[in-house]
Amino acid sequence: MAEARPALRSLAGLRVLVTRPRHQSDGLVSLIEAHGGVAIRFPVIEILPVRNPGAVRATREVLASLSDRDMTIFVSPNAVEHGLAVVGSPAEIRGRIAAVGERTAAALEAAGVGPVLRPAEGASSEALLALPDLAGEAVAGTRIVIVRGAGGRPLLGDALSKRGALVAYAEVYRRELPESDPAGIAELGAGGGIDAVIVTSVEGFENLFSALGETAAPWLRETGYVVVSQRLLEHGRALGLAQTPLVAAGADDEAMLEALLRWRGKHPGTGS
């Protein structure tokens, strides 16, 4: 068993399509390459600041008005980056701080914001909502600001409102489909040159299929996927994927690498 372990820790020859935003893919790409894999960048989401100056001012005002009993929840590292850019200083973030997952919590702590409440496992609204600190008796009557992108998922805010919290949203960034020439990726995939795809959001799934077009749909449905939540697994099934996606333990680079290694262990001949 001990002699087989190095092989299980290798991605040698595995060709992985990385769909994360370009500015957030470097760490994962480096890990894939360090383990012998081939990382192919194809960002399907571009993160941009909000256009509305009025929304920026409103965000500053609502965050500055929070008390020590209130809470600010950041839903992603993008929310951290753009939220802190809006308020201007970590010191302006008052009250309790929460993050949807470890990667978001780490971004907050790196910026000097904390302590940060986060799920012990998983990176989802569902995991955060399961914490005792967000139970009804803990949040009833408190103000909670959810820092997110424009048009974000409503589950977190809806659930907290039902528990008696007074919920407001600070939408500090927007998502766009990047300008790209997908012809090379489409050709590579059609020729069997992509073994696995990493997808980290529902919008990423939709943009991937949209950007590559209907002619790429057959191989997109046949290839393997690593995703970051059960919700994405279900969305992949709804898209008609032939293989059930493998769910990573989190959205951070190390968790994604571990998931890829597990995926490779299930498909040992792929990419070799």
Give domain status of residue 116, yes or no: yes
Listed residues 158, 175, 192: the one ending a domain: 175
Specify the pLDDT at position 272.
59
Whether the per-residue pLDDT at 57 is higher than 90: the answer is no
Q: How many domains does the chain have?
A: 2
Which pLDDT band, with edges at 50, 70 and 90, does 2 fall under? Answer: very low
Domain of residue 119: give its range.
Answer: 48-175
Question: Which residue bears the tokens 């002619």?
Answer: 215
- Structure tokens, 69: 């009993």
pLDDT in tens, 113-156: 989 999 988 778 888 999 999 998 899 999 999 999 888 888 99
Listed residues 119, 147, 175: the one ending a domain: 175
Indicate the DSSP class of residue 242: S
Q: What is the CATH number of the domain that holds 247?
A: 3.40.50.10090
Specify the pLDDT at position 133.
94
pTM of the model: 0.77
Measured CA to CA in angstroms, residue 190 lies from 52, 185, 194, 196 at distances of: 41, 8, 8, 13
Question: Which residue bears the tokens 């500015």?
Answer: 23
13: helix, coil or strand?
A: coil
261: helix, coil or strand?
A: helix
Residues 59 and 116 in one domain: yes
66: helix, coil or strand?
A: coil
Give domain status of residue 272, yes or no: no
Length of the chain: 272
Over residues 195-207, the mean pLDDT reads: 93
Query: What is the share, in percent, of the chain residues with pLDDT greater than 90?
Result: 61
Listed residues 143, 158, 175: the one ending a domain: 175
Over residues 39-47, the mean pLDDT reads: 94
Which pLDDT band, with edges at 50, 70 and 90, does 4 fall under? Answer: very low
- The residue among 156, 235, 163, 157 whose CA lies nearest residue 200 is 235
Cα Rg, the chain, nearest whole Å: 20
pLDDT in tens, 91-108: 778 889 999 988 899 999
Specify the pLDDT at position 3.
39
15: helix, coil or strand?
A: strand
User: In the chain, what is the greatest distance between 2 CA atoms, to the nearest angstrom?
Assistant: 61
Whether omega before 77 lies within 30 degrees of 0, making that bond cis, reads no
Residues 54 and 38 in one domain: no
Q: In what order do the strands lie in the sheet with 116-117?
A: 46-49, 166-176, 143-149, 71-74, 96-99, 116-117
